[in-house]
Amino acid sequence: MKWNIEFYEDSQGVSPVKDYILIQDAKAQAKILRVIDLLEEYGVTLPHTFAEKVNDVWELKERHGTEVYRILYFAFTGHKFILLHAFTKKTQKTPESEKKLAEKRRKDYIKRFTNSK
């Protein structure tokens, strides 16, 4: 069974992950979209080479040339993943600021989703 992929949108309808993907060149976009497709197909069984746990979120990993792309996401009810935040990784470890931003968006998504019911 395929997983559903949803791009986080803030209260103004802005999707940071979509915006991030759109500013990349065509080859980078293709590689990033391919790894998102793998997440959709394999879900929680996606190999460690593509995804790993980082605090309360997961990190989707892709590389294109010398660039290292990351998308932070989490699993939510209804067999879906919410893509929260994307960035180009410049250091060995994922920066705390990137994790905190993803966590803030995760909490915002959960709050807004549960309040809309």
Write out pLDDT tens, residues 56-86.
899 999 998 899 999 999 999 889 999 999 9
Structural domain count, the chain:
1
CA–CA distances in Å: residue 28 to residues 51, 74, 101: 18, 22, 23
Q: What is the mean pLDDT of residues 35-40?
A: 97
Cβ(6)–Cβ(84) under 8 Å?
no
Cβ(32)–Cβ(101) under 8 Å?
no
- pLDDT class of 117 with cuts at 50, 70, 90: low
Q: Which domain holds residue 77?
A: 4-115
Q: Residue 68 is part of a domain; what is its CATH number? A: 3.30.2310.20
Cβ(35)–Cβ(62) under 8 Å?
yes
Instruction: Show Cβ contacts of residue 45 under 8 Å, excluding neighbours closer than 6 positions.
Output: none
- pLDDT class of 91 with cuts at 50, 70, 90: confident
